[in-house]
Amino acid sequence: MLIGHFTEQPWQDDKTGLMGTQSTDLSISNELYDPKVGAQLYNRYLDEKIYAEEMGFDALMLNEHHSTPFCMQGVTNVGASILARQTKKAKIVILGNVLPIWEDPLFLAEQLAMIDMISNGRLVSGFVRGGGRESWSHNAPPHYNRERFEEAHDFIIKTWTQPGPFRWEGKHYHYRYVNPWCRPLQQPHPQIWIPSTVSEETIKWTAEHRYPLVLLATKLEPTKDAFQMYHDTAAELGYESGTQNLSYLWKVHVDETDEKAEEVARKYLSGVSNPFLSGNEGKINPAIQSLPGHTSRSSRKIAATAFGPLGRFGTNRRPYEEQAKDLTIIAGTPKTVLPKIRHVLEYLRPGSIFFWDGDGAMTHDDQMRSLRLMGEEVIPAVREMGKELELFSSFEVDPATNKPVEEAAVT
């Protein structure tokens, strides 16, 4: 099993009044931004990631969102580049680069190849279509979102795997000369993981490419249904998928007492306005988040059935008590969180998991306590659970035999 750490890297301050408020998505002017605070926060989050590796996490997950304070990482490759040099063992999992907003995917292919080389082959390159927020803020046509995603993906794979120079003439991208000098260290290329929030097209496309699917903070039941859709699609394509194809991210905070853990975990909901975490409803701008042509009718129907009218965002905007009850938030001491984590593992059977922590209004000290306790007690126990439940990550299964690497070596 692969065990990773994640945080949105939210903006925090004590002067602007943004903390604990619910502002409509993309309605906050950067006039409120203080670069001195930003500098402190960027370095804080990097320090926490480095400490997470020291505490035994196998992977450090990074993402990006644009023009919003709930995620400071607008350029995820910058953080990944720093961690590539400053860390030693942990996988650097980018989930992910928003392909449809890139006008020059060749530049992206070069960046990722450099990150893979600097990290000595520790990059996991995730690709995402992005939400309406990203298309809106980067002026990318939403009705071509999926087309641009798939073409950029195909172009990057060819750039990484086929010697140049070659020419590319697609519908959305055109190059007379493709011949980047830098190519990834991992061959034929770094693993590609695809995050999703229960999009039927994305799940099936991911299974078609045999990439690991990562479900992001979704309720357990629709997550299990999405994983089953992946397995069913794989079976239709003539191969057997397993735990190596599945990954799950959800909110887990560990503290010294159950009371302290609940006190801190409630901070998930009291930070700067975040549609993934906010407690109040009605703050998502549907004109931006649901741009015409961006999402298919079938996926909208699935999301509405699984999550309600607010879709996946509604899952994480519910009161703390509801999220704690259905285990989309798990908080407590190592002793009290482990049975709940085990339930999630048994129910979903993912080969890779990510604990979403240190978010909202949580302080640096809150995060460091949790990371320390995870390293001392939670990670070793969860690793044993993974062995007992035979939950293998994509790095532990031989793709040629579809068996665990040790077993494949024996047979």
Write down the pLDDT at residue 281.
Answer: 43
Average pLDDT on 341-364 reads 98
Which pLDDT score is estimated for 408? 47
Are 393 and 352 spatial neighbours (Cβ–Cβ below 8 Å)?
A: yes
Selected residue with higher pLDDT from 135 and 212: 212
Structure pTM? 0.91
Backbone angles phi, psi at 349, to 5 degrees: 55, 55
**How many distinct structural domains can be found in the chain?**
1
Residues 332-358: b if buried by 16+ CB within 10 A, e if exposed:
bbbeebbebbeebbeebbbbbbbbbbb
Each residue of 175-189: pLDDT tens digit? Answer: 999 999 999 999 999
Alpha helices in 310-388 (DSSP H): 311-316, 320-325, 334-348, 364-373, 379-388
Q: Can the peptide bond before residue 132 be classed as cis, meaning omega within 30 degrees of 0?
A: no
Strand partners, 91: 59
How would you classify residue 328: left for phi > 0, otherwise alpha for psi between -120 and 50, otherwise beta?
alpha
Give the closest residue to 11 by CA, choosing from 68, 96, 79, 83: 68
Report the CATH number at residue 228.
3.20.20.30
Mind listing the pLDDT tens digit for each residue in 180-236? 999 999 999 999 999 998 889 999 999 999 999 999 999 999 999 999 999 999 999
Which residues lie closer than 8 Å to 97 by C-beta, 6 or more apart?
64, 76, 77, 108, 112, 125, 126, 127, 128
Work out the mean pLDDT of the chain and round it to a whole number. 90
User: Please, are residues 22 and 54 in contact by the beta-carbon 8 Å criterion?
Assistant: no
The pLDDT score that the predictor gives to residue 298 is: 59
The lowest-confidence range among 29-43, 111-125, 240-254, 269-283 is 269-283
Residue 128 pLDDT more than 90? yes
Question: Which ranges in 170-249 belong to alpha helices (H)?
Answer: 200-208, 220-236
- pLDDT at 323 (0 to 100): 95
CA 266, CA 285: separation in Å to the nearest integer?
Answer: 25
Range of 189's domain?
2-410
Give tens-digit pLDDT for 257-316: 999 999 999 999 999 877 666 444 445 566 566 666 656 555 555 555 554 554 544 456
Residue 403 has pLDDT above 60, yes or no: yes
Residue 66's pLDDT is what?
86
Distance CA 288, CA 125 (A): 27
Work out the angle between the directed axes of helices 364-373 and 35-54 (0-180°, nearest 10).
10
